[in-house]
C-alpha cells in the first residue's frame, strides 16, 4: 500500500447497540492518528506505515554553531506551518572509519527521531524508550531502526544525535561545562521527551533510557547525575563500562594504565583542550575559546585522534560526581529498575580492531609481554590460567583474558552496587554466532562480540534474511524482555522464560538461541581467580 493510500484508509467499526426499547446510534470509533503532530516548537509531518508512524529529524535544541559551539544546548527555535519529518536530519561532525561511513562536517545536528505504534495517540499512551547510540566519536540515531521493538513491543522509541568527540567532550579552564557538553545534549533530548511524548502517544511518566557501550555508560552517567533525576523511570545498560579500569596496553598498544576506561577528569579534559588550542594556533588563554569557535569543522576533525581523545565525559563537576564507584557505594544514584549486562566475548571486538587489523597482532611470542605490561608480577599466574594451548589463536587468548578481567569483573561490581538499592536483572548475551555487521578480520572468530546484541533489539524485517530461525526466536524474546520491562519495570511476562532478579553471580540470565537460563557468571569468567590477583 502506498503511503498516500495508507493515510486514506479509515478504521471503521459498525456496532448495533440496543438497550431496552431505545435504539442508539453506534459511536464512531476514533481513526488512528495521522501524520501530523504538534510539538512545543511547531507541527511536524511524519510517515504513516501500516503498523507504525515514523517522524525523523525533529530539532530538540538549537543548532550548536558559531558562538553556540561548546555551549550547553539552547532551546530549539519555533517554526510556523508544518515541518516535514520524513527523512533523517544531519549527523553530527565525525570522521569516516573502518566500521561505518558516517563522515559529517555539519554542526546543525541536534535532532531526534520518534517511531510510534500505529495506534499510539494522546488517548492511547505507550511506554517510551529513549536510545543512546554507542561510541562517542561516531554514530547517529538514524542508524537504528526500531521497527520490531515498536510494533512487537508496543512502545514508542526515540533515537537522537548528540555532539561527539571534540564537539561533545572538549574542555578549557575558562569553559563552563568542560567535558560534559554531549551529556547535556542527551539530557536536553530527555527533557524534550518529557514535554512532547504525549503528543506522539507516549507516556512521559514511563520513560526507559537505554544504550549500548558508550551509550550504556552515558545511561549510567544519567543514573548518577542529579540533574537527570525524574527524566526517566527505568534504565537498560548494554555493555556499560561505568566502573571499568584499564590495565596498560589492554585496548590500544602503548596506552598507559588508567583508573577509568569510560571517563576522564575535568582537569584532564581542560588540559587536553589547551593542547588542541595550541595546535590550532589559539594560544592565548584569554581568547582561546572564541578563537576555536571560528575554526572550521574540517580543520578540527583533522587534528590527530581529536575525536577519540574527547570521547569520555569528565567527572568532578556540576554534572557528574568525582568518583562513580564511591557514588554507587553511597547509593547516590536514581532509584529506578535496571537491566544491565554484557556479551559473552566482549573484548574480541577490541582485539580485532586495535591489534589484528591495526598491524599489531597478538602472537605466541608477544603474548607473555602483553601480560607483563598489563599485569606486572601476576603475568605468570595469568598465563597459566589462560594458556595459549586452550585457544585457537593468541588473539583469542588475549581477548579472553581481557573479557574476564575488564568487562566481567567490572560488570559484576557495577551490578552488585546498583542492585543494593534498585531491582536489577543481569543478563549475558551468549549467541557466539551472532550476525556480523562490522568487518572482522578474515578467519577471526569474534564469538558473542561487543554490541552483537544490538541487532537483536533493533531487528528489522530485512535482518531476518541473515538470522537463523533460532536467532529470530531469540530476538523476539529479547524484544519481549526489553518491552515488558518498559511497560512494567520487570522483564518477566507470560510466554517468556523466567528471568530471576539478580541476587548474586549465579542469577545471571544467559541469552542464547534455544538456551535461555541462568548461568554462573563468576565461574564462567573466572572471577574468583581475578579476585585473588587483585
Residues assigned a catalytic role: 213, 346, 450
Burial of 293 by CB count in 10 Å (0-12 exposed, 13-18 middle, 19+ buried)?
A: middle
Q: Which residues, including other chains, have CB under 8 Å from residue 519's CB and lie 6 or more apart?
A: 428, 430, 506, 508, 509, 510
Residue 3, CB-side half-sphere exposure with 13 Å CA sphere: 10
DSSP code for 434:
P
> 167 near 181, Cβ under 8 Å?
yes
Angle between helices 394-402 and 367-375 (to 10 degrees): 20
Q: Which residue in 262, 259, 421 sits closest to 327, CA to CA?
A: 421
What is the rounded distance in angstroms from the CA atom of residue 247 to the CA atom of residue 257? 5
Strands 263-265 and 313-315: parallel
What does the alpha-carbon distance between residue 249 and residue 254 come to, in Å, rounded to a whole number?
Answer: 5
Q: What are phi and psi of 357, to 5 degrees?
A: -80, -15
Q: What is the dihedral of CA 200, 44, 29, 480, to 10 degrees?
A: -40
CA distance 214 to 209: 13
Q: Positive or negative, the Cα torsion across 516, 341, 403, 351? A: positive
Q: What stretch of H or E contains 288?
A: helix 288-293
Say how far apart CA 404 and CA 521 lie, in whole Å. Answer: 10
| Whether 441 contacts 352, CB under 8 Å | yes
Q: Is 31 exposed, middle or buried (0-12, 13-18, 19+ CB in 10 A)?
A: exposed
Distance (Å, whole) CA 377 – CA 372: 7
- C-alpha distance from residue 319 to each of 153, 187, 313, 477 (Å): 33, 11, 10, 36
Amino acid at each position: 500500500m502506498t503511503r498516500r493510500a495508507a493515510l486514506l484508509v479509515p478504521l471503521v467499526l459498525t456496532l448495533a447497540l440496543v438497550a431496552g426499547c431505545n435504539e442508539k446510534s453506534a459511536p464512531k470509533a476514533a481513526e488512528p492518528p495521522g501524520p501530523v503532530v504538534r510539538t512545543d516548537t511547531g507541527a511536524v509531518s511524519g510517515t504513516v506505515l501500516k503498523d507504525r508512524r515514523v517522524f525523523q529529524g525533529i530539532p530538540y535544541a538549537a543548532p550548536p554553531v558559531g558562538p553556540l559551539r561548546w555551549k550547553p544546548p539552547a532551546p530549539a527555535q519555533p517554526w510556523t506551518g508544518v515541518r516535514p519529518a520524513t527523512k533523517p536530519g544531519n549527523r553530527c561532525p565525525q570522521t569516516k572509519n573502518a566500521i561505518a561511513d558516517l563522515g559529517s562536517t555539519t554542526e546543525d545536528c541536534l535532532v531526534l527521531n520518534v517511531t510510534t505504534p500505529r495506534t499510539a495517540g494522546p488517548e492511547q499512551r505507550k511506554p517510551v524508550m529513549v536510545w543512546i547510540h554507542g561510541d562517542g566519536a561516531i554514530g547517529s540515531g538514524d542508524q537504528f531502526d526500531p521497527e520490531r521493538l515498536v510494533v512487537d513491543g508496543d512502545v514508542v522509541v526515540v533515537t537522537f544525535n548528540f555532539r561527539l568527540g571534540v564537539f561533545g567532550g572538549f574542555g578549557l579552564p575558562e569553559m563552563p561545562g568542560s567535558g560534559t557538553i554531549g551529556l547535556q545534549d542527551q539530557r536536553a533530548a530527555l527533557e524534550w521527551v518529557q514535554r512532547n511524548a504525549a503528543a506522539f502517544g507516549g507516556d512521559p511518566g514511563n520513560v526507559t533510557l537505554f544504550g549500548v557501550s558508550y551509550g550504556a555508560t552515558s545511561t549510567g552517567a544519567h543514573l548518577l547525575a542529579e540533574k537527570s533525576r525524574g527524566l526517566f523511570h527505568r534504565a537498560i545498560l548494554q555493555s556499560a563500562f561505568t566502573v571499568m579500569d584499564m590495565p596498560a596496553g589492554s585496548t590500544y598498544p602503548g596506552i598507559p594504565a588508567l583508573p577509568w576506561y569510560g571517563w576522564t577528569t575535568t582537569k584532564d579534559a581542560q588540559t587536553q583542550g589547551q593542547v588542541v588550542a595550541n595546535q590550532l594556533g589559539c594560544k592565548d588563554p584569554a581568547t582561546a575559546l572564541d578563537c576555536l569557535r571560528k575554526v572550521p569543522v574540517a580543520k578540527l576533525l583533522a587534528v590527530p585522534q581529536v575525536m577519540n581523545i574527547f570521547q569520555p565525559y569528565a567527572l568532578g563537576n556540576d554534572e557528574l560526581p568525582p568518583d562513580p564507584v564511591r557514588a554507587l557505594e553511597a547509593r547516590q544514584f536514581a532509584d529506578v529498575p535496571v537491566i544491565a549486562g554484557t556479551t559473552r566475548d566482549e573484548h574480541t571486538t577490541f582485539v580485532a580492531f586495535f591489534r589484528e587489523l591495526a598491524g599489531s597482532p597478538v602472537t605466541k611470542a608477544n603474548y607473555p609481554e602483553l601480560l607483563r605490561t598489563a599485569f606486572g608480577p601476576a603475568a605468570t599466574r595469568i598465563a597459566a590460567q589462560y594458556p595459549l594451548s586452550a585457544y585457537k589463536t593468541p588473539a583469542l587468548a588475549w581477548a579472553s583474558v581481557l573479557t574476564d578481567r575488564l568487562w566481567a569483573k567490572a560488570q559484576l561490581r557495577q551490578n552488585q552496587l546498583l542492585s543494593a538499592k534498585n531491582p536489577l536483572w543481569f543478563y549475558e548475551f551468549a549467541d557466539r554466532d551472532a550476525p556480523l555487521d562490522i568487518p572482522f578480520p578474515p578467519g577471526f572468530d569474534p564469538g558473542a562480540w561487543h554490541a552483537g546484541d544490538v541487532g537483536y533489539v533493533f531487528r528489522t524485517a530485512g535482518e531476518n534474511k541473515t538470522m537463523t530461525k533460532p536467532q529470530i526466536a531469540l530476538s523476539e524474546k529479547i524484544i519481549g524482555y526489553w518491552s515488558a520491562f518498559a511497560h512494567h519495570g520487570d522483564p518477566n511476562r507470560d510466554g517468556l522464560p523466567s528471568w530471576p532478579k539478580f541476587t548474586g553471580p549465579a542469577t545471571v540470565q544467559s541469552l542464547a538461541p534455544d538456551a535461555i537460563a541462568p548461568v554462573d557468571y563468576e565461574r564462567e569468567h573466572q572471577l574468583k581467580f581475578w579476585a585473588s590477583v587483585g
